[in-house]
Structure 1
Amino acid sequence: MPSGKKIKLVIFELLELAAFSIPTLVVMEQFAKTYHNIMNNSEKTHYWLIVSCSIAYVASASLLIWVPVKVLFFKKRHLYQKIKGWRPVMMMYVVLTTLPSFSFSIAMTEVQKSTNDTISAAIPDTLPDLPVSLVLTSLIVVDIIEKLRIYPLRGELKSKETTEIHSSTLQNIKTVTEQVHRNEENSVPPQPARRTQIPQPRRTNTESPTLNVEGPQEPCFDSGVLRAASSSDPRSEIFLGSFLLWSDTIEMVRVTGHPAVYKSGWVYPVYIFSFISLLRIILTPQNPLSNCVGVLLQDIPFIFVRLSLIIVLGTITPVLGLCKNILVTLSYVYFNHLTKFRVFSTFEVS
């Protein structure tokens, strides 16, 4: 009887392999079908040629890159533990699956637009949603699986187990402050403590008070139905957070289905900047650079793309998305950089 860890490993690897292979096959099959309809040829030579090329590409990428890297990391755990700040699995998915899928999606629209006037009716009013949704859903699934690997799938996850998981990932890391305190304790001899009373200055109206945020208290339920309703598990929050993280990119890619976008040159910047926004998934979830990279790769480019689309084509993209990108960018710049200057400082400096 195989153990639970082996069953979990096999299921995760099969799901990741399916998410790695199926999107490319589906997108290239859609491209082959579109090309066959445009050619108006009874023979399906070109159709099966494109399909066979897609199968050959997926098989070669899986057998030559995906599987060897997976086996290497499984056999050589010390190599995998030396990687800091980025995830090789997500990089392989973005480069080998997402990039070809987006490329063939653009090629599909170009083939439809290159037809002459006699068969211009073959151009659909909207692009099919299946290829784009499948690519992004597979990306989210791979991201969820990579985050769930450190958690058990069975049993209740207690707070003690959560702290142990986080502490195991941060072990053997000594901060500079701990080293400084240890050096001070070793160099300075112990001295008897003295009780001193420091007079507290009177607070005037010009002085800013200490930060004491007041607000409604959070409830705490210890029994009954409310306790079961208020329970939370980080394993379920991974699913919610992963889909919310890519909601902005999903909405941007879906804009390409509008005929005013994919029948014009706007399909190129939308797909290009959407793919660039996906590159931040290569970073680990707790990477300190994730916020900065998210603003630089997603919010700032999306501001210019959405603003241009609204000006030229109208509100085919929601204004709410543009407001989100602007507010996220301004809040990041203000609270992380501008508040360090004296003009934006809360306290007066003499």
Structure 2
Amino acid sequence: MASRKLIKLLVFELLEFTAFCVPTLVIMEQFAVASSTTRRPPDKTHYWLIVSCSIAYVASVSLLIWVPVKVLLYKKRHLYQKIKGWRPVMMMCVVLTTLPSFSFSIAVTEVQKNINGSTDVLPDMLPDLPVSLVLTCLIVVDIIEKLRIYPLRGRQKSNEDRHIHTTNLQQIRTVTCEAKQNEENSTRPQPANRTHLSRPLGGATGNSSPELEGPQEPTFEWGILRTLSQQDVRAEIFLGSFLLWADTIEMVRVAGHPRVYKSGWVYAVYIFSYISLLRMMFTPRNPLLNSLAILLQDLPFIFVRLSLIIVLGTITPVLGLFKNVLVTLSYVYFNFLTRFRMFSTFERSF
């Protein structure tokens, strides 16, 4: 059993360390190629100087920051348990890997423009590999950090399976309370409502909130439908991690458009895309994560996308702008405006 845990630990640590080192090396190597080929004649010494500096940087931050922090988190479990709301590993990746990668991605085009004095020498489209590599490595580390607490073998119970005992207990207590209430008030019939008050587990009636009944969800107990309806939280981690950063991925890909990276708009795109990645440092269940998503991603992206559409045309999808506007307005309305008197009346459709 210990050997399996050790193998799992080694595989996770190796993947995280690879995702921590590779993006910086690849981006800086491309910067070295761009810087050396723009010289006449091409200078190999300049190329190897930049490559050696990138290797030295990765080795330094790995030995001085990455490895000590990892050892400290593994050896001192009581210190790791005191860390609440943020993830040290993700912070190191975002600050020490993503920031230099984005910086040198911009520097690749700037070096070519400054040396040649024109944007004609720039390619029609920037290569997609650097951007995809940086974001993929971040997502891989995010998945590993979320998957670390789960076993990789065996069947993992879904949320419904984990809460089935609690749900049954709540139903038993609710039925008992309703039976007693019906016996006491048998002479007063009550109409059936689609909206009713939910009772707490302890039987207390204070601070009750309306419980809405929506469409009934199907359940499958046998056959091929039961197989297709299986849900595992470990598989959902992979899906959720990629969907979480779809908006940022689309924004960074806009920087590869020639009308963007040949102008000053590339700075705004990369800066606000990096700011949106700062959310990754916080834990997935942090109560502040929804507010940070609005402040760090959706609200800044509204101004960036709207400005790009006005100045350069629809080089960024209008659907992305609609998503940012709708998410921001819905968050403000349901979390703040509904507290006022004119929006506080509880209503239901049918």
Could you tell me the TM-score, scaled by structure 2's length? 0.84
Determine whether 1:27 maps to 2:37. Answer: no
- Paired residues of 1:21 and 1:97 also in contact (CA < 8 A): yes
Matched AA of 1:152: P
- Tell me the distance in 1 between the aligned counterparts of 2:257 and 2:122: 12
Q: Deviations over 1:28-85 (max 9, x none)?
A: 0000001111113243000000000000000011011001100011010000000000
Determine whether 1:317 maps to 2:313. Answer: no
1:125 is matched with 124
Q: Deviations over 1:299-327 (max 9, x none)?
A: 00000000000000000000000000000
1:170 is matched with none
Determine whether 1:305 maps to 2:314. Answer: no
Q: How far 1:116 sits from its partner (Å)? A: 3.0
- Tell me the distance in 2 between the aligned counterparts of 1:297 and 1:259: 26
Aligned residue for 1:158, secondary structure, equals coil
1:240 is matched with 239
1:285 is matched with 284
Q: Which runs of no fewer than 5 residues in structure 2 stay unpaired?
A: 164-180, 197-209
- Tell me the distance in 2 between the aligned counterparts of 1:212 and 1:2: 46
Mark the CA change 1:96 to 1:144 in structure 2 (over 3 Å): closer, same or farther.
same
- Paired residues of 1:38 and 1:122 also in contact (CA < 8 A): no
Mark the CA change 1:313 to 1:121 in structure 2 (over 3 Å): closer, same or farther.
closer
Quote the RMSD (CA, aligned, Å): 2.6
- Tell me the distance in 2 between the aligned counterparts of 1:220 and 1:347: 31
Mark the CA change 1:313 to 1:157 in structure 2 (over 3 Å): closer, same or farther.
same
Q: How far 1:113 sits from its partner (Å)? A: 1.7
- Tell me the distance in 2 between the aligned counterparts of 1:196 and 1:162: 35
2:219 is matched with 220
> How many residues in Structure 1 have an aligned counterpart in Structure 2?
315
Aligned residue for 1:331, secondary structure, equals helix
- Paired residues of 2:19 and 2:137 also in contact (CA < 8 A): yes
- Paired residues of 1:27 and 1:104 also in contact (CA < 8 A): yes
Q: Deviations over 1:219-248 (max 9, x none)?
A: 111111111111010000000000000000
Q: How far 1:161 sits from its partner (Å)? A: 11
Q: How far 1:202 sits from its partner (Å)? A: 9.7
Q: How far 1:158 sits from its partner (Å)? A: 2.5
Aligned residue for 2:341, secondary structure, equals coil
119-128 or 139-148, which deviates more: 119-128
- Tell me the distance in 2 between the aligned counterparts of 1:145 and 1:202: 53
Matched AA of 1:249: T
Q: How far 1:162 sits from its partner (Å)? A: 7.7
Mark the CA change 1:212 to 1:317 in structure 2 (over 3 Å): closer, same or farther.
same
1:107 is matched with 107
Q: State the percentage of identical aligned residues.
A: 72
- Paired residues of 2:119 and 2:262 also in contact (CA < 8 A): no
- Tell me the distance in 2 between the aligned counterparts of 1:75 and 1:209: 52
